[in-house]
């Protein structure tokens, strides 16, 4: 799989994008660890904090097509630099926010917009524009694995920092970590690599979006990705609460998130290799179906530390591994000229599901005292997502990402 990335310029571009995603996703995917300490410090209820994080889920998705369109039009450099600075600002001002509205501004808007501008749509789009055809599938898997590696590193580190210097100091530390990604932007966007010429006709951004939104396969792809967002946002936001309900220490939650990230490194690399071997719609259908099975097994098992770690490892293998095959289908359907924009729109749908997963989880625990109904909804949606991907019209894998 990695043979196609052996050229130094290709490898540097891929690893730079993976490094940026490691920091932006590591920050974003660890915010659930702050719910308990933040609530104890501010007196805000879990519903108010969940609302801020849910808005952040939606904002992260809403900024993706906008950032992708700007990157497609003017280049990714300014978008990525601006995103990292805004993310750092959102983290830095959060300790000064003592109201629900303040958290919506810092975590729901600023942090989410910043991490979204430095996330999948811009990074995968920028890499695809600079990489040869045969390297794109493997590169998307490595870039995606970077985000998982960030979660694997950030979750336990941030939990230790919260325990040692408090949640406020940890927020400021996260702001500094975010700024560490700035040098990688230059490596990703360096001009030494000649951009790949587009085989497809450039008919303009507006027409490309209009054509895509009328395509049945593209809409089915959105439907499946909605479920992925619901599932991930619910777990990232409320897994610490689920662990607490089971009477287990907070370290179980942080290590579970870390295991999810570690498992998804391998899942992302495997998904990237599958893109060049199998039809991506079948890869996605298998991933979504496996989630329904894993959640059902989790509900039947005793709530022990081992159960959470096994559950995390199983789910982690497909956690964000849905990204490479989803991006591959978008590229197969419409080419790579506006890949950042069109893939960004699927991420918007992903995060509409994410908003509901994070917010409804907060309402469920407030109303019923547990997350039972959320788990049942997750199983049903995962099965529907698996079915929705099967009718997608997909070109054979030999056509790869750039149809002639």
Q: Where are the domains of the chain?
A: 2-195+204-399
Q: Tell me the pLDDT band of 12, cut-offs 50, 70 and 90.
A: confident
Residues 248-303 pLDDT 10s? 888 898 888 888 888 888 887 787 777 777 888 999 999 999 999 999 999 999 98
CATH superfamily ID and name for 2-195+204-399 = MFS general substrate transporter like domains (1.20.1250.20)
Q: Please, are residues 178 and 84 in contact by the beta-carbon 8 Å criterion?
A: yes
Q: What is the pLDDT of residue 391?
A: 92
Residues 187-229 pLDDT 10s? 888 754 444 444 455 567 788 888 888 889 999 999 999 999 8
Taken in order 213, 217, 220, 221, is the CA torsion positive or negative? negative
State pTM to two decimals.
Answer: 0.72
| CA 43 – CA 35 distance, rounded (Å) | 11
Q: What is the pLDDT of residue 388?
A: 93
> Exposure pattern of 167-194 as b/e (b: 16+ CB <10 Å)?
bbebbbbbbebbeebeebbeebbeeebe
Q: For 357, how many CA atoms within 13 A lie in the half-sphere containing its CB?
A: 31
Residues 18-35 pLDDT 10s? 899 999 988 887 888 888
Q: What is the pLDDT of residue 80?
A: 93
Chain centroid to Cα 199, Å, comes to: 29
Dihedral angle at the C-alpha atoms of 377, 382, 387, 390, nearest 10 degrees?
Answer: 160
- 154 CB-near residues (< 8 Å, 6+ apart): 26, 27, 29, 30, 177
């Amino acid at each position: 799989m990695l043979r196609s990335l052996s050229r130094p310029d290709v490898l540097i571009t891929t690893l730079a994008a993976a490094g940026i995603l490691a920091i932006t996703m590591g920050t974003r995917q660890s915010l659930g660890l702050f719910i308990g300490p933040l609530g104890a410090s501010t007196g805000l209820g879990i519903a108010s904090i969940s609302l801020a994080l849910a808005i952040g889920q939606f904002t992260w998705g809403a900024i993706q097509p906008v950032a992708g369109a700007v990157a497609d039009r003017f280049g990714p450099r300014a978008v990525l630099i601006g995103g990292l600075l805004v993310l750092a600002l959102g983290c830095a001002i959060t300790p000064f926010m003592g109201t629900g509205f303040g958290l919506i501004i810092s975590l729901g808007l600023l942090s989410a917009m910043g991490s979204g501008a430095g996330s999948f749509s811009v990074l995968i789009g920028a890499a695809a524009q600079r990489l040869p055809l045969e390297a794109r599938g493997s590169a998307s898997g490595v870039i995606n694995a970077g985000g998982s590696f960030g979660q694997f590193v950030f979750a336990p580190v941030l939990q230790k920092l919260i325990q040692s210097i408090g949640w406020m100091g940890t927020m400021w530390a996260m702001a500094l970590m975010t700024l560490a990604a700035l040098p990688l932007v230059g490596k990703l966007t360096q001009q030494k690599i000649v951009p790949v010429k587009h085989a497809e006709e450039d008919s303009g951004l507006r027409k490309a979006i209009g054509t895509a939104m009328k395509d049945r396969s593209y809409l089915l792809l959105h439907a499946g990705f909605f479920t992925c967002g619901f599932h991930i946002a619910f777990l990232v936001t409320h897994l610490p609460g689920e662990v607490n309900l089971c009477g287990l220490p907070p370290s179980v939650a942080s290590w579970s998130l870390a295991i999810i990230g570690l498992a998804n490194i391998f899942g992302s690399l495997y998904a990237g290799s599958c893109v060049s071997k199998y039809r991506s719609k079948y890869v996605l259908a298998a991933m979504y179906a496996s989630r329904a099975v894993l959640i059902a097994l989790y509900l039947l098992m005793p709530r022990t530390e081992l159960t959470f770690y096994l559950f995390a490892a199983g789910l982690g293998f497909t956690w964000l591994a849905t990204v490479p095959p989803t991006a591959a289908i978008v590229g197969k359907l419409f080419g790579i000229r506006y890949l950042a924009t069109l893939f960004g729109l699927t991420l918007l749908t992903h995060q509409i599901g994410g908003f509901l997963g994070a917010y409804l989880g907060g309402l469920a625990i407030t109303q019923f005292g547990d997350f039972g109904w959320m788990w049942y909804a997750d199983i049903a949606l995962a099965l529907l997502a698996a079915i929705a991907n099967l009718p997608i019209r997909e070109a054979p894998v030999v056509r790869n990402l750039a149809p002639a």
